[in-house]
């Protein structure tokens, strides 16, 4: 596989650690343990069902969380962006079924090895406070998503979804995944995508949609964000 994750060493590693210092999140010197991992677009940071060996902290890029149900259907659960943790549930729970996490754009993470730092992290009040705030914000966001699905038209929710999953000006999410995530019919989704193309927000290419008017999408998505 010519496209595996890359681990930055030496100067390059230090540059990221200095630029995105996370020392303040811990009360022990975390910098000496941090690895810097770079993932290409569409690469898996965690394979579903495989326990990670690291706690990740995203510093650049975006990713998506997936789960496969017993009937084989795959669902998109949530989005990950800069300043989010990945693997925090595995840190806290010995028995936890890991969700699949796939990058949407090129993504760079700090990776803190469990075998060296697990005990230190679980005994660190500064870090646990940060983690509690992160988990609380995450559950609030999930609750807001369900409320929005009942309160806002698909136009607003789809605009927000496109902005969250696009890589630059390319949007190429599978329709079935989108229908499931947004709780809408296939027909309704295609209808709104066609509207977006008619209005010139998007242009349909062979295998993806090109975003032509990001501002228009931001305006529509803004209704959800300004609540």
- Residue 1 clears pLDDT 70, i.e. is over it: no
Q: Give DSSP secondary structure letters for 15-34.
A: HHHHHT--GGG-SS-GGGT-
pLDDT digits (tens, 9 = 90+) for 164-180: 999 999 999 999 999 99
Number of domains in the chain: 2
The last residue of one of the domains, among 145, 176, 201, is 145
Overall pTM surpassing 0.85 (yes/no): yes
Residue 58: inside a domain, yes or no?
A: yes
CATH number of domain containing 29? 2.60.120.10
Angstrom distances, CA of residue 80 to CA of 85, 88, 150, 153, 181: 8, 13, 23, 24, 15
The last residue of one of the domains, among 96, 114, 145, is 145
pLDDT digits (tens, 9 = 90+) for 181-215: 999 999 999 999 999 999 999 999 999 999 999 99
pLDDT digits (tens, 9 = 90+) for 7-66: 999 999 999 999 999 999 999 999 999 999 999 999 999 999 999 999 999 999 999 999
Q: Does residue 53 share a domain with residue 138?
A: yes
Radius of gyration of the chain (CA): 19
Task: Identify the domain containing residue 45 by its residue range.
Answer: 6-145
What is the C-alpha to C-alpha distance for residues 222 and 170, in angstroms, rounded to an integer? 20
Q: Does residue 166 share a domain with residue 80?
A: no
Residue 1: inside a domain, yes or no?
A: no
């Amino acid at each position: 596989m010519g496209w595996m994750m890359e681990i930055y060493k030496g100067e390059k590693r230090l540059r990221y650690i200095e630029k995105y210092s996370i020392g303040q999140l811990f009360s022990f010197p975390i910098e000496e343990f941090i690895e810097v991992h770079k993932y290409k677009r569409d690469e898996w940071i965690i394979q579903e069902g495989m326990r990670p060996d690291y706690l990740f902290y995203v510093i650049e890029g975006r990713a998506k969380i997936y789960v496969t149900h017993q009937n084989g259907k795959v669902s998109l659960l949530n989005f990950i962006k800069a300043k989010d943790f990945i693997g925090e549930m595995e840190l806290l729970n010995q028995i936890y079924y890991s969700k699949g996490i796939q990058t949407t754009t090129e993504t760079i993470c700090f990776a803190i090895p469990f075998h060296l730092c697990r005990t230190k992290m679980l005994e660190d009040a500064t870090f646990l406070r940060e983690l509690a705030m992160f988990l609380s914000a995450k559950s609030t966001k999930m609750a807001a998503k369900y409320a929005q699905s009942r309160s806002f038209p698909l136009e607003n929710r789809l605009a927000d979804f496109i902005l969250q999953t696009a890589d630059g000006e390319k949007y190429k999410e599978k329709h079935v995944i989108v229908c499931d995530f947004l709780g809408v019919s296939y027909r309704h989704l295609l209808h709104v995508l066609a509207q977006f193309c008619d209005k010139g927000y998007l242009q349909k290419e062979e295998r993806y949609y090109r975003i032509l008017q990001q501002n228009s999408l931001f305006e529509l998505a803004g209704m959800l964000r300004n609540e």
